[in-house]
């Protein structure tokens, strides 16, 4: 299969590291009653309190600029960490106001929440041109809402190996569960039968998938969550993986906004 996307400067494939900085909001979006359960929320608090700083240090060591998708309520709750991300030169992108599936909202509610989050994100001095749905899914109104706010790209769907444009012009940077940390590492004590994967297994899976995408000339979109990937052993694995990515000949590494700008 020949590549369908022309990467710049003769590069063979593309790579972006994205982080959904959800903090407590993923648990509140799942069940609003969790807002009164500090033990449950502490899983997300770890992302803000500990993991973001460690991740920023790792990215600086590797010389990689990432894209952080952040819900508006995380800006309200953890503004110093969001400002730290921006100050380190990373891209800030839209991830809803709350971590709520767009299809659970009316079009009016979705538009109102989108605007509220957009204003909070730009209020920390960031240029916001991208969006990732909190559910990796759209409502019937989502694409129009993005376009109305001047959003250039989405990274929410799983239907391709290459960047492409939606009919309304918004670029899609496809994701996939295999390159997301949650399916491998997420654990909830409501389902004790799910095991936590060893980092060695995930390292192998990610390297194999990235190498295969590289051979096809596609985009490797790594989708991570500070509260999940930010455990010490997983950060060691992530650095090894990024070393592998950077060793691939002809791989173009950029932020989501930079890659979206390449789409004709």
Would you state the pLDDT for residue 187?
A: 82
Indicate the average pLDDT of the chain. 94
CATH code for the part of the protein at 8-260: 3.20.20.370
pLDDT tens digit sequence for 154-171: 999 999 999 999 999 999
Mark residue 106 as left, alpha or beta (left: phi above 0; alpha: psi -120 to 50; beta: remaining): beta
Reading the block at residue 56, the tokens are: 């920023």
| Direct distance between the N- and C-terminal alpha carbons of the chain, in angstroms, rounded to an integer | 21
Which of the two residues, 180 and 32, has the higher pLDDT score? 180
Q: How many CA atoms lie within 13 A of 217 on its CB side?
A: 11
Q: Do the Cβ atoms of 79 and 102 come closer than 8 Å?
A: no
- pTM for this model (two decimals): 0.95
């Amino acid at each position: 299969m020949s590549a369908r996307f022309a990467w710049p400067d003769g590069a063979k494939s593309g790579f972006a590291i994205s982080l959904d900085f959800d903090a407590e909001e993923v648990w509140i979006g799942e069940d609003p009653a969790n807002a009164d359960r500090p033990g449950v929320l502490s899983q997300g608090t770890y992302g803000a309190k500990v993991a973001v700083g460690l991740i920023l240090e790792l990215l600086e060591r590797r010389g990689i600029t990432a894209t952080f998708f952040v819900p508006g309520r995380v800006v309200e709750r953890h503004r110093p960490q969001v400002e730290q991300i921006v100050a380190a030169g990373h891209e800030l992108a839209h991830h809803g106001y709350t971590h709520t599936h767009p299809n659970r909202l009316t079009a009016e509610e979705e538009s109102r929440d989108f605007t509220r989050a957009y204003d909070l994100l730009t209020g920390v001095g960031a240029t916001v041109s991208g969006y990732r749905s909190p559910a990796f899914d759209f409502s019937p109104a989502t694409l129009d809402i993005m376009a109305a706010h001047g959003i250039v790209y989405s990274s929410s769907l799983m239907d391709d190996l290459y960047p492409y444009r939606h009919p309304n012009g918004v670029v899609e940077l496809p994701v996939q569960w295999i390159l997301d940390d949650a399916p491998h590492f997420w654990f909830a004590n409501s389902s004790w039968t799910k095991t936590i994967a060893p980092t060695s297994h995930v390292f192998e899976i990610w390297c194999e998938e990235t190498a295969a995408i590289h051979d096809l000339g596609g985009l490797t979109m790594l989708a991570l969550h500070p509260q999940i990937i930010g455990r010490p052993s997983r950060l060691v694995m992530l650095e090894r993986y990024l070393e592998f990515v950077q060793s691939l000949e002809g791989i173009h590494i950029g932020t989501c906004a930079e890659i979206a700008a390449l789409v004709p």
